[in-house]
Structure 1
Amino acid sequence: MKTRTFLQSIAVGVALAAGATSAPAQGSAPYPSRPVKLVVPFPAGSATDLAARVIAQQLGTALGQGFVVDNKPGAGGSIAAMDVIRSAPDGYTLFFSSNSALASNVALLKTMPYDPLKELTPVAGVGETTLALMVKTDHPAKNIDEFVNYLKERPGKINAGFGSSTSQISIANLNRLANVNALPVPYKGIPLAVNDVLAGTVDFTFVDLGNSLAQVKGGKMRALGVTSPKRSSLAPDWPALAETMPGFDVTAWFAIAGPAGMPQDVVQKLNAATTEALRKPEVKDKLAGIGLQPMPMPAAQLKTFMADEVTKWKRMAKEANIQPE
């Protein structure tokens, strides 16, 4: 009896020892130990998509795993955001978005299926950019003054495509500050609005700077001005719309977030790798080609920044008399 009890004790001890050594082994693999998905709320070819691919390549090299871009456009970014929010908060599904789905949609959508400040974990700031007011090269207006007169002569008859909250509020600001009445037409992404401007379906749109530069270089479109309060160093010959319409100030930004509850060590690892990538001259050059200037930001600062942006966009939407839809 004593022998049996002694052997049982040894067996229990061996089992406990095995558990003690095997349990940490299951969770000891450093992050990331498998590919990471970057969910993008806009279609391929958009500024968000292009920036995501630049950063994905850098993170993959720095962290030794593949970072795969997964485009999920639609519903103003809500489809992509919900995909991330519903995923496990382990850092293997991340959200690479512009301000649209991270802040400004709160002011523009009547019903938000999620709260970006409560259901997402801010990870890292990436970049910021401006937009440009774009028309076809054969448009009769050669500058912003001629364009405003063109709109005033055709009240309620000119269509403007928008594919993001930033382009939507840019149209609203143009209407308000120039006292015109262009009719906004929604698209799932800016590239789709550009296509319809080129096809003549809509008359103009506001395009992220990178795509604007590409369209002008290709000779298909003309830029009449940028939405930032000052001219962009990436397109110094393009006037700021604020030069003729004081108060015109709309900029876009890009950041990485994850589902709520992400481990802080994973957040810090991703933030450090992103920040380091943004310091590289070759990355700065690639982002400049997309029209972005680096916006590195610690995760805690990004959290405050996002909250401030929600407040800012609510104010801008109210000033532009935009009714949430």
Structure 2
Amino acid sequence: MNYLPIAQRFLVIASLALGISVAQAQTFPDRPISLIVPNPPGGLVDTSARLLSEPLSRVIGQPVIVDNKPGASGNTAYQYVAKAKPDGYTLLISYSGYHVGNPALMDKLPWDPIKDFSPIALLTVSTNVIAVHPSVPVNNLKEFIAYAKANPGKLNYASQGNGSVSHIGTEIFKQSTGIDMVHVPYKGSGPAVQDVLAGQVQVFITTPPSVMQHVQSGKLKGLAVTGKIRHPGMPNVPTTAEAGLPGFQLESWVALYAPAGTPAPVVAKLTESVKKSLALPEVKERSDAAGVELRYLTPTAMDALLKKELPYWNKAIKSANITLD
């Protein structure tokens, strides 16, 4: 008999909590939403954020602001969102290179890839492009591999930062081809591209938004794309399989996350609003022009993807002896 009042008390508390969550969802959002980007302007991650921000603002009825917070291999932004109030107003534009790469690269990560974040949706995916400066005397991937082997350590390659997909992917590329290049990390795609265009760094394996216009104009040579099919914006650039390296493929993704503990109704509203935003015809047109593939996934599917990729990238990073140094 003594337990009945306690049970009733728990029911009342649970009902109140549910009522608060429903009320939050009904009024959400009533002020601007911030999309925290772990990279500087330019490149796949920032492009994906800006593809989403304007249509999402129209769909959800409040300003959606892109806030670039680069630094510490993405950790500045990830830690900022992990510690933010879980109310749906501070969201993370997550990059696969950080979300699945950093846990394998860092012993004391200041955030947990699963426990600290609630998935909202997958936004975009992108193949990568093996691009080189015109001063490199090659015309295709086979010639490049032969040239790199004949000149070990003489070529420099750019990355978006230690632990990024461009860093990890290029190290795996080196392992798979037996070549030796020197890593030059940058704080995002923008500054990396500038030095590759200037010839200070000769090689960049990165996503199409960073280099597509330069490959199209001839300022950079596109040797191969790392997906299963050719990229529509660079139809003359073969896949790695077509270029003679079928075992090397590399894909990057960008997803939207909220801090863990964000009320389920708020997450559901954000998820549905993102789905509507990505389905707008003008967003598809803009993504095609930017060289980005829209690929929506639900929170459940995004959670499954992350849990599948974490052990895969951990194994790849460890086997290639990749570090943040």
TM-score by length of 2: 0.87
Structure 2 partner of 1:8: none
Written as runs of structure 1 = structure 2, the 5 A alignment for 1:268-287 is: 268-287=268-287
C-alpha distance in 2 between matches for 1:324 and 1:197: 21
Unaligned ranges ≥5, structure 2? 1-19
Structure 2 partner of 1:177: 176
Corresponding residue pairs, total: 302
Confirm or deny: 8 A CA contact 1:127 1:294 kept in the other structure. yes
| Residues 237-246 or 39-48, more deviating | 237-246
C-alpha distance in 2 between matches for 1:63 and 1:123: 14
1:88-147 superposed Cα distances (whole Å, 9 cap, x missing partner): 000000001221232222223343221111101111110100111111234311111111
C-alpha distance in 1 between matches for 2:25 and 2:295: 33
C-alpha distance in 2 between matches for 1:179 and 1:290: 33
Confirm or deny: 8 A CA contact 2:135 2:199 kept in the other structure. no
C-alpha distance in 2 between matches for 1:217 and 1:249: 22
Is 2:118 the partner of 1:130? no
Structure 1 partner of 2:31: 34
Structure 1 partner of 2:152: 155
C-alpha distance in 2 between matches for 1:121 and 1:234: 33
Confirm or deny: 8 A CA contact 1:227 1:250 kept in the other structure. yes
C-alpha distance in 1 between matches for 2:47 and 2:197: 21
For residue 248 of structure 1, report the CA deviation from its aligned partner: 0.4
Is 2:50 the partner of 1:60? no
1:94 alignment partner, one of 82, 91, 95: 91
Q: Tell me which amino acid in the other structure corresponds to 2:313.
A: W
For residue 29 of structure 1, report the CA deviation from its aligned partner: 6.3
Structure 2 partner of 1:214: 213
Confirm or deny: 8 A CA contact 1:171 1:182 kept in the other structure. no
| Residues 65-74 or 102-111, more deviating | 102-111
2:41 alignment partner, one of 41, 44, 54: 44
Written as runs of structure 1 = structure 2, the 5 A alignment for 1:1-325 is: 30-164=27-161, 165-243=164-242, 244-323=244-323, 325=325
For residue 27 of structure 1, report the CA deviation from its aligned partner: 6.0
1:284-315 superposed Cα distances (whole Å, 9 cap, x missing partner): 12112222211111111111111111112112
| Residues 229-238 or 97-106, more deviating | 229-238
| Residues 247-256 or 104-113, more deviating | 104-113
Secondary structure at the aligned position of 1:124 is classed as: strand
Q: Percent identity?
A: 34
C-alpha distance in 1 between matches for 2:27 and 2:90: 16
C-alpha distance in 1 between matches for 2:24 and 2:139: 62
- TM-align CA RMSD: 2.0
C-alpha distance in 2 between matches for 1:324 and 1:50: 25
Confirm or deny: 8 A CA contact 2:47 2:209 kept in the other structure. no
TM-score by length of 1: 0.87
Unaligned ranges ≥5, structure 1? 1-22
1:7-55 superposed Cα distances (whole Å, 9 cap, x missing partner): xxxxxxxxxxxxxxxx99x968611100000000001112211210110
Question: Are residues 249 and 27 of structure 1, via their aligned partners in 2, closer, same or farther at CA, if it must alter by over 3 Å?
Answer: closer
Question: Are residues 269 and 118 of structure 1, via their aligned partners in 2, closer, same or farther at CA, if it must alter by over 3 Å?
Answer: same
Secondary structure at the aligned position of 1:241 is classed as: coil
C-alpha distance in 2 between matches for 1:130 and 1:319: 22
Secondary structure at the aligned position of 1:101 is classed as: helix
1:200-223 superposed Cα distances (whole Å, 9 cap, x missing partner): 221211121122211123432111
Structure 2 partner of 1:4: none
For residue 316 of structure 1, report the CA deviation from its aligned partner: 2.0
C-alpha distance in 2 between matches for 1:271 and 1:112: 27
C-alpha distance in 2 between matches for 1:54 and 1:230: 23
Confirm or deny: 8 A CA contact 2:159 2:185 kept in the other structure. yes
Structure 2 partner of 1:12: none
C-alpha distance in 2 between matches for 1:242 and 1:252: 18
For residue 237 of structure 1, report the CA deviation from its aligned partner: 2.1
Q: Tell me which amino acid in the other structure corresponds to 2:322.
A: I
Question: Are residues 27 and 74 of structure 1, via their aligned partners in 2, closer, same or farther at CA, if it must alter by over 3 Å?
Answer: closer
Secondary structure at the aligned position of 1:296 is classed as: strand
Question: Are residues 27 and 239 of structure 1, via their aligned partners in 2, closer, same or farther at CA, if it must alter by over 3 Å?
Answer: closer
